[in-house]
């Protein structure tokens, strides 16, 4: 139970709590003007401070982080398992990340060899773990169930729109998240119910991936299974080909020298061929010249002259014979020269033919050696190419798996959803005792407010997307009745959680819960809370305006035994909880 809320600022009005019903009243004063309002008396702020001291996350909009309040250290005293007296927890806006406990209640979880004495300072995260362990009985890992969310069902905040729906503690809370925590408070299989939350996370992830796949740019990066299957086939064929080449590759020693030698031989053979063409042409020219080099026939000259009556004398005949002898000499010398040239050319052609044959054999051997393998550098290049292709193939496989998972996830999620719905439905059948207890308790509380003829129950159903818990009171949907649905539902949660060791012994409501509620139901609700808190050893703290309290009093509820100090007023100066006025975040 909560015992006291105080601060180190003397203007702050210390609030004390006791067992049972606690009414924190905000009233008007005789000097109040029509423009004054009890909205700034501090009723909602009291609940905000309790949350702050029980580990709420501090943000710029947190009340205690307000510039006017940051220097103030607030203190909450509450009963705690173990210590003989109330445990004091202190926290300020200046050191919002830490709380100070006047006694070490961490136990053996921190691994300390000896119990620590005196005050201890803990990070807020550690403090919330202790709350989960000691107030809600949560041990070990408990994904989906949070002490902070559980506390929010027992102390709803108007700043989080906690009174909009009975099964949510803030407006944007997902149904699966709320259901896991409600299942824990009601004694259902919260771990099974939490699978709805995990499934919702998968759906959200898939929706994001699907959105990416549908994008013209990202879609090409992710790809489809059909396209990727074809790409993988081609990439695998390329990898197989390179692997075969690497496996068959033989490193030839001095490969580069052999290659240079083969190039030299090739160039020499080509040069020989060119030289042969020239010499063959010259040979043919010389052979033709030899044929044309013959002695001139002159025997016909003397008979011709004689027939013409010209008698050649001896001197002419001698000169003629001399010329003929000279000419024979010239022809003979030319023929000899040409025959020598022909012999030389023929010899060179024959020599080249022999050299070409030898070089051909040499070239064949070199090419055969080169064809059998390659240089070490070539093998390294081949292996590098293989590694690159293998990496590309592996990347394609990953993309294919991702695309396959994405395309199959819709079917898997649908199948899992159906399977989960069946499993939760079966669990609800097996936990009939727990569900009946909750339904009957809620119905009893509702009928205490609206009479036994009013149909009221909890509809608990395994849905496709979440466990649905719907508190219902037969009504016309008015705001007042909707608020009383929340009252009965919260009271049911608090009683069952405390009765079975799954929650603390307090329930806190803001005055907003009673806005628009018929004065008969206000009186009935306060009477019911007073009785239930005694029967169940609980504490119910409610901030309420004197108007609502006055109407309840007219309906037979005596509030005086339950009104706790102080009485907050609408006096502009020091009537409120903090004893002074300041601008809140919403009013800046």
Report pLDDT digits (tens) over 165-191: 999 999 889 999 999 999 999 999 999
131 lies in a domain? no
29 lies in a domain? no
267 lies in a domain? yes
Tens-place pLDDT, residues 101-154:
999 998 765 555 555 667 899 999 999 999 999 999 998 889 999 999 999 999
By the 10 Å C-beta count (0-12 exposed, 13-18 middle, 19+ buried), 512 is classed as middle
At residue 587, the pLDDT reads 43
At residue 108, the pLDDT reads 62
At residue 31, the pLDDT reads 57
At residue 522, the pLDDT reads 95
Cβ-based neighbours of 183, under 8 Å, separated by 6 or more: 189, 190, 193, 194, 467
95 lies in a domain? no
191 lies in a domain? no
Q: Which residues pair with 2 in a beta bridge?
A: 78
Distance CA 10, CA 72 (A): 10
pLDDT < 70: residue spans in the chain:
29-40, 108-117, 213, 215-222, 252-253, 373, 476, 571-573, 585-588
Q: What is the pTM of this model?
A: 0.69
At residue 562, the pLDDT reads 96
Contact 569, 26 (CB under 8 A): yes
314 lies in a domain? yes
332 lies in a domain? yes
Please report where in the chains the tokens 């070199």 appear, as a residue: 366
Count CA atoms within 13 Å of residue 451 on its CB side. Answer: 5
At residue 575, the pLDDT reads 80
Give how many domains the chain has, as a whole number: 1
316 lies in a domain? yes
Domain that holds residue 368: 253-380
Residue 194 tokens read as 């939490």
């Amino acid at each position: 139970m909560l015992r006291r809320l105080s601060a180190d600022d003397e203007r702050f009005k210390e609030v004390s709590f006791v067992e049972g019903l606690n009414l924190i009243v905000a009233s008007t004063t005789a000097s109040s003007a029509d423009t004054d309002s009890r909205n700034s008396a501090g009723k909602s702020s009291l609940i905000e401070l309790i949350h702050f001291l029980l580990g709420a996350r501090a943000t710029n909009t947190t009340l205690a982080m307000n510039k006017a309040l940051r220097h103030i250290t607030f203190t909450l005293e509450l009963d705690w398992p173990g210590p003989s007296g109330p445990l004091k927890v202190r926290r300020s806006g200046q050191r919002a990340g830490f709380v100070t406990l006047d006694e070490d209640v961490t136990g053996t979880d921190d691994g300390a060899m000896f119990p620590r004495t005196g005050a201890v300072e803990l990070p807020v995260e550690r403090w919330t773990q202790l709350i989960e362990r000691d107030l809600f009985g949560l041990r070990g890992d408990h994904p989906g169930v949070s002490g902070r969310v559980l506390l929010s069902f027992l102390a709803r905040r108007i700043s989080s729109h906690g009174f909009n729906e009975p099964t949510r503690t803030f407006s944007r809370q997902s149904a699966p998240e709320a259901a896991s925590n409600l299942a824990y408070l009601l004694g259902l299989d919260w771990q099974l119910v939490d699978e709805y939350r995990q499934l919702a996370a998968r759906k959200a992830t898939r929706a994001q991936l699907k959105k990416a796949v549908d994008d013209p740019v990202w879609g090409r990066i992710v790809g489809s299974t059909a396209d990727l299957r074809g790409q993988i086939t081609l990439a695998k064929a390329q990898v197989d080909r390179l692997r075969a080449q690497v496996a068959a590759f033989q490193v030839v020693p001095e490969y580069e020298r052999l290659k240079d030698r083969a190039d030299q031989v090739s160039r020499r053979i080509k040069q020989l061929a060119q030289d042969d063409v020239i010499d063959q042409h010259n040979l043919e020219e010389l052979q033709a010249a030899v044929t044309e080099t013959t002695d001139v026939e002159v025997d016909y000259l003397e008979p011709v002259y004689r027939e013409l009556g010209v008698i050649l004398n001896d001197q002419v005949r001698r000169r003629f014979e001399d010329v003929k002898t000279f000419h024979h000499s010239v022809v003979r010398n030319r023929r000899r020269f040409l025959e020598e040239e022909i012999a030389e050319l023929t010899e060179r052609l024959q020599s080249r033919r022999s050299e070409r044959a030898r070089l051909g054999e040499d070239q064949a051997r070199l090419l055969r050696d080169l064809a059998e393998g390659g240089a070490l550098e070539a093998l390294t290049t081949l292996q590098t190419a293989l590694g690159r292709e293998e990496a590309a193939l592996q990347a394609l496989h990953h993309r294919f798996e991702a695309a396959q998972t994405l395309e199959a996830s819709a079917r898997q999620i649908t199948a899992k959803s159906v399977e989960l719905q069946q499993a939760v439905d079966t669990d609800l059948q097996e936990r009939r005792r727990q569900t009946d207890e909750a339904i009957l308790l809620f119905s009893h509380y509702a009928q205490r407010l609206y009479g036994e003829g009013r149909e009221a129950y909890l509809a608990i159903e395994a849905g496709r997307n979440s466990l649905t818990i719907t508190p219902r009171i037969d009504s016309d949907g008015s705001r007042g009745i909707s608020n009383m649905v929340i009252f009965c539902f919260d009271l049911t949660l608090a009683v069952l959680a405390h009765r079975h060791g799954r929650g603390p012994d307090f329930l806190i409501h803001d005055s907003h819960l009673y806005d628009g509620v018929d004065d008969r139901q206000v009186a009935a609700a306060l009477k019911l809370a007073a009785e239930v808190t005694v029967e169940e050893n609980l504490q119910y703290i409610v901030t309420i305006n004197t108007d609502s309290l006055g109407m309840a009093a007219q309906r037979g509820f005596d509030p005086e035994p339950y009104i706790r100090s102080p009485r907050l007023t609408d006096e502009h100066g020091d009537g409120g909880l903090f004893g002074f006025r300041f601008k809140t975040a919403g009013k800046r």
